[in-house]
Amino acid sequence: MHRTADKAPNALAVMSLGGALQDAQKQTLFAPFTAQTGMSVRLRGWDGTLATLQKRAATGMDRTDPWNLVLLENSSIRLGCREGLLLPLPTLPPDVLDGLDSDASSRCGIGALRLNIVLAWDKSRIDTQPTWADFWDVARRPGRRGLRRDPRGTLEIALLADGVAPGDVYRVLATSDGVDRAFRKLDQLRPYLIWWDTPAEAVQIIEGGAVLMTSAPNGEVAAANLVGHRDFGIQWQQSLSMLLGWSIPGRPPVWPTSPVPGAGPGSARSGGAAAATAIADEPPKTRAGTTDARPPPGEGAHASEQTPAARPDDAGRHGSTGARTGATARTGATGGIAGTDTQPAPTTGTARASGPPADHPAPKGASPASGAPDAAPANRADTDADRMDRLLGFILAPAREAAFLRAYPAVGVHRHPQGDASTLADDSPATPDHLRDALRMDDEFWEQHLDELQARFRVWLAAGDSARPSR
């Protein structure tokens, strides 16, 4: 009897962000991996937030429904590693590391792609290329606007629209006056805003005519034009470059068996993650088109509030590098990828453990960061760890990256020759030249300031009562 991949036992659970991005990853990364190795991959969508990982750890879902690999923002990877929500990565093959951008690798994450957050508009309704200043000019360009329900990217755009030069954005945002300035600018658009949470939602709100213009990841807009035959413009000037990376979820050395304060379902600190468990089992359902004051799906409470102290015996068990070597025998489960119709019967002996074995070594290459808690105990069986080594080595290889970039208009994380950036049409595909002119999102800034600015952002959202604009 055939099984669908979604029901495949021993399938590696990989969480992406839905939309055209996830479709391209399935086509160019995970389906070829399954075809070459016979190992099953279950590719699903999630909201990309640490709040969801926190809730899963607090409620035990990370044990009953483990995730092997997740795609999320680089600033979230930094925070999740510090909190013990993400595991140190294994040693990666030399061909993956050679030529990798300097900021695309960290203790708990490896870069997957770069997206530019651009200004997108419906060309059938606007015949000239708008700027962020035009985005705010609702008198001359009446209509709703779309922005991401997260301070990251949104506050930078507000300052750009207010005349701050790209090179000064983070210097201004690091001051209390600069933060006030960004929120005052957002106040001007409050009644006209529709929020998006995932890359796919950003395009859905403009496809459905809910907004005239929106911030959006360039890849989703370009895919809508190429696949959906839409006519949406992309404004590359003053775009923001965002790094997304792969990480392996874990859990802190000690985590309460009941939800921690502020991270439980429906709590204000959960950052809107009350529905995250439903989102996790299917492509992210759109909540686009809403104007409510729900908290953004942010990272929830962080280490200072939530992560309990490690047990004394954890350091001895998990504080050293792992003993596993590249010669370890790899037992791969056969199977397929989510969305395929059939797959071979699974090989026995590869079931994931529901909890970490007491003697499970830390992943290869692990070395506790100075002042950080010891590495979280792995919650995967050795066979899963070995399969993860093979999966990461496969999908991160430069040849795979090249195949992915042919299917999805993003920018890779390996260094490429720089060309002439003098002419970049608004409908051109993404190239490394766009990175040169874009404002790179400062992940170190957001690692340091996300908690405070996210709290301020939630308060601002809750105070809005987003009244619809008068007609």
The C-alpha atoms of residue 270 and residue 382 are separated, in whole angstroms, by 32
Cα(390)–Cα(94) distance, rounded to whole angstroms?
13
- Strand, coil or helix: 429: coil
In terms of Cα–Cα distance, which of 1, 6, 2 is closest to 282?
Answer: 6
Measured CA distances, 333 to 57, 352, 427 (Å):
26, 11, 43
Query: Is the sign of the CA dihedral 314, 319, 323, 325 positive or negative?
Result: positive
pLDDT at 386: 86
Which residue from 87, 80, 75 is spatially nearest to 365, judged by alpha carbons? 87
Query: Which residues share a beta bridge with 122?
Result: 232
CA distance to 147, 395, 450, 451, per residue, from 150 (Å): 8, 29, 10, 12
Residue 193 within a domain: yes
In this structure, the answer to whether residues 83 and 99 fall within a common structural domain is yes
Round the average pLDDT of the chain to a whole number and report it: 73
Confidence of residue 342 (pLDDT cuts 50, 70, 90): very low
Indicate the pLDDT class of residue 244, thresholds 50, 70 and 90. very high
Q: Indicate if 356 and 397 belong to the same structural domain.
A: yes
Nearest to residue 412, comparing CAs of 111, 150, 166, 117? 111
Report how far residue 73's alpha carbon sits from residue 114's, in angstroms, rounded to the nearest whole number. Answer: 10
Tokens of 39: 């190992």
Q: Decide: 147 and 196 in contact? Cβ < 8 Å.
A: yes
Same domain, 320 and 384: yes
Answer yes or no: is pLDDT of 307 > 60: no
The terminus-to-terminus CA distance of the chain in angstroms comes to 59
57, two tokens: 């750890």
Please tell me the total count of domains within the chain: 2
Quick one: pLDDT at residue 466? 45
Contact criterion met (CB below 8 Å) for 346 and 334:
yes
Question: Is 292 domain-assigned?
Answer: yes
Q: Is the dihedral of CA 176, 181, 187, 192 positive or negative?
A: negative
Angstrom distance (rounded) from CA 76 to CA 153 = 14
Task: Kindly tell me the burial class for residue 94, based on how many C-beta atoms sit within 10 Å of its own C-beta (0-12, 13-18, 19 or more).
Answer: exposed
- Same domain for 272 and 223: no
303 versus 56: which is more confidently predicted?
Answer: 56
Dihedrals φ, ψ of 440, to 5°?
-75, 130
**What is the pLDDT at residue 306?**
37
Q: How many CB atoms lie within 10 A of CB 305?
A: 13
Of residues 61 and 367, more confidence is placed in 61
Q: Say yes or no to pLDDT of 434 above 80.
A: no
Structure tokens at 224: 């809508």
Four-point Cα dihedral 380, 381, 385, 387, nearest 10: -110
Residue 445 covered by a domain = yes
Same domain, 103 and 252: yes
Tell me if 421 is assigned to some domain: no
Model confidence at 301: pLDDT above 60? no
Same domain, 253 and 237: no
Q: For position 183, what pLDDT does the model report?
A: 98
Let me know the angle formed at the C-alpha of 109 by 408 and 214, rounded to the nearest 5 degrees.
45
CA distance 37 to 335: 9
Over pLDDT 70: what percentage of the chain? 63
Per-residue confidence band for 364, with pLDDT thresholds at 50, 70 and 90: very low
Q: Tell me, yes or no, whether 471 lies in a domain.
A: no
At 119-142, the pLDDT tens digits run 999 999 998 999 999 999 999 999
As a whole-number percent, the residues of the chain with pLDDT over 90 amount to 48
438: closest CA among 60, 93, 118?
118
Does 337 map to a domain?
yes
Q: Are residues 254 and 387 in the same domain?
A: yes
In this structure, the answer to whether residues 269 and 395 fall within a common structural domain is yes
Give the list of residues 6+ apart from residue 411 with CB closer than 8 angstroms, or none. 113, 114, 115, 116, 241, 405, 430, 431, 432, 434, 435
Least confident segment among 54-58, 174-178, 284-288, 464-468: 284-288
Give, for 214, the enclosing helix (H) or strand (E): strand 213-217
Confidence at residue 263, expressed as pLDDT on a 0 to 100 scale: 36
- 145-159 confidence digits (pLDDT tens): 999 999 999 999 999
List, in order, residues 6 or more apart from 255 with CB less than 8 Å away: 57, 58, 308
Residues whose CB is less than 8 angstroms from the CB of residue 231 and which lie 6 or more positions away in sequence, other chains included = 122, 123, 124, 225
Q: What is the pLDDT of residues 167-217, one digit of tens each?
A: 999 999 999 999 999 999 999 999 999 999 999 999 999 999 999 999 999
DSSP category for residue 337: B
81 plus 122 within the same structural domain = no
442 versus 417: the higher-pLDDT residue is: 442
Residues 368, 255 share a domain: yes
Q: Which domain holds residue 204?
A: 116-242+432-462
Residue found under tokens 């839905």: 18
- Give the tens place of pLDDT for each residue, 14-68: 999 999 999 999 999 999 999 999 999 999 999 999 999 999 989 999 889 999 9
CATH number at residue 437: 3.40.190.10
235 and 264 fall within a common domain: no
Average confidence (pLDDT) over 216-237: 90
pLDDT beyond 70 at 459: yes
Q: Could you report the per-residue pLDDT of 375-390, keeping only the tens digit for each? A: 444 444 456 778 889 9
> What confidence tier does 303 reach under pLDDT thresholds 50, 70, 90?
very low
3-class DSSP assignment, residue 123: coil
pLDDT score of 92 more than 50: yes
- Separation between Cα atoms, residue 299 and residue 276, nearest integer Å: 12
Token output for 366: 């692990």
Residue 422 counted as domain residue: no
Is the same domain home to 375 and 457? Answer: no
Q: How far apart are CA 338 and CA 288, in angstroms?
A: 25
Evaluate whether residue 120 is within a structural domain.
Answer: yes
Residue 42 token pair:
């279950």
pLDDT at 372 over 60: no
pLDDT in tens, 398-415: 899 989 988 888 778 876
